[in-house]
Amino acid sequence: MQGVLNPELAEQAQSLFEQFNHAEPFRHVLIEDFLAGPFLESVAEQFPKPVEEEMLSEFGDRSLKHTVEDLAALGEPFPQWDALLKSGEFIGWLETVTGIPGLIFDPAYIGAGTHNNFSGQSLDMHIDFNRHPLNGLQRRLNLIVYLCPEWDLSWGGCLKLHKDAWDRTGHQQERVYPPFMNHAVLFETNERSWHGFDEIKLPEDKQHLSRRSLTVYYYSKHRETNEVADEHSTIYVPDWIPPSVKPGEVLSEDAYRDLEKVMYRRDHYLQHLYKRERTALDRAADALRRIAHLDRLHRLIRFLMPWRYR
């Protein structure tokens, strides 16, 4: 971990575990001054510039987020970061901090890598996909390290952790973490780890800034029986009625736009779900056709070669 992480973190593992294990609304911990100073400066300076053609959401739409999963293609200092994340020493430190044994690094960085969110981007409350799409491993941990040289709370973009995204009463338990430079948030991923961030709204003279972070996910072969769930993709819950929309008041243009954004995202998720359902039904119908074909073939073979079945 030498040269990449703040050297003081090695001695803080047990105290960080106490914070992680007792945190609400689910297990997590905020770690300030996560990266060593020289490495932090280097990774911030070499952070990949956005490529417009690559700025697509997981649904294939244009977005205001740029992601790079292939860290090896970026050159230094990112191979140093990659080497740290896969090292036995760092994984052992993570296991001590979280109490989760058998953590496995994802060399493909699926869904992770570098994240760069620009003004106008948001992330609805969600729980993450729970199995690795290539090997079926159980997803266990998210680590996010923020690289924003300047940030104000009024700009939005703060990470929010919720107890229950479906609770619309406004009384749900919530923790908020601004994306301050060199702050890291480590949290357990399960069927209750709802998280997201509000829309980024940078002032005109700050449009050159963005919400930048390094992210990595860890997995394990097994997890507690009571936490095992059927495999699913990321589950999103769109925002509720915007605060700008108030009963008994004339709907302002800004409030209308806020409401329009919520309804658009809700429609978009529904369209995606309908498309996924159609694909699943088509695959099921195709499987039934294949089974029927095999059954007919089997009966024909029995007719032509009856001695094989005596």
**pLDDT tier at 243, thresholds 50, 70, 90:** confident
In percent, how much of the chain has pLDDT > 70?
98
In percent, how much of the chain has pLDDT > 90?
72
State the Cα–Cα distance between residues 7 and 39, nearest whole angstrom: 12
Contacts 24+ apart (CB under 8 A), 76-84: 76/42, 76/46, 77/39, 77/42, 77/43, 77/46, 78/43, 78/46, 80/3, 80/4, 80/39, 81/4, 81/43, 81/214, 84/1, 84/4, 84/5
Contact 64, 119 (CB under 8 A): yes
pTM over 0.85: yes
pLDDT value at 75 more than 70: yes
Q: 195 has which bridge partners? A: 126, 161
Q: 263 has which bridge partners? A: none
pLDDT value at 261 more than 90: no
Higher pLDDT, 248 or 18: 18
Give the pLDDT score at 171: 63
**pLDDT tier at 207, thresholds 50, 70, 90:** very high
Provide mean pLDDT across the span 59-88.
91
Residue 179 DSSP SS3: coil
Give the pLDDT score at 23: 97
Residues 6 or more apart whose CB falls under 8 angstroms from that of 61 comprise: 268
Higher pLDDT, 106 or 59: 106
Provide mean pLDDT across the span 245-264.
89
Q: Output the CA–CA distances (angstroms, integers) from residue 234 to 59, 117, 139, 199, 293, in the order listed.
A: 11, 19, 12, 19, 35
Give the mean pLDDT of the chain. Answer: 92
pLDDT value at 299 more than 90: no
Q: What are the pLDDT digits (tens) for 37-61?
A: 999 999 999 999 998 888 877 777 7
Give the pLDDT score at 308: 74
- Sign, CA dihedral 181-190-114-66, equals negative
pLDDT value at 255 more than 70: yes
pLDDT value at 1 more than 70: no
Burial of 121 (0-12, 13-18, 19+ CB in 10 A): buried
Give the pLDDT score at 305: 79
Can the peptide bond before residue 179 be classed as cis, meaning omega within 30 degrees of 0?
no
What residue spans define the domains of the chain? 7-237, 251-310
Contact 99, 182 (CB under 8 A): no
- Alpha carbon 254 to its chain centroid, in Å, reads 29
> Of 64-78, 260-274, 291-305, which one has max mean pLDDT?
64-78
Range with the lowest mean pLDDT among 89-93, 111-115, 179-183, 234-238?
234-238
Superfamily of domain 7-237: q2cbj1_9rhob like domain (2.60.120.620)
Query: Taking each helix axis from N to C terminus, what angle separates 37-45 and 78-86, rounded to the nearest 10 degrees?
Result: 120
Provide mean pLDDT across the span 16-35.
97
Q: What are the pLDDT digits (tens) for 7-19?
A: 999 999 999 999 9
pLDDT value at 240 more than 70: yes
Higher pLDDT, 151 or 256: 151
Which helix (H) or strand (E) is 195 found in, with range?
strand 194-197
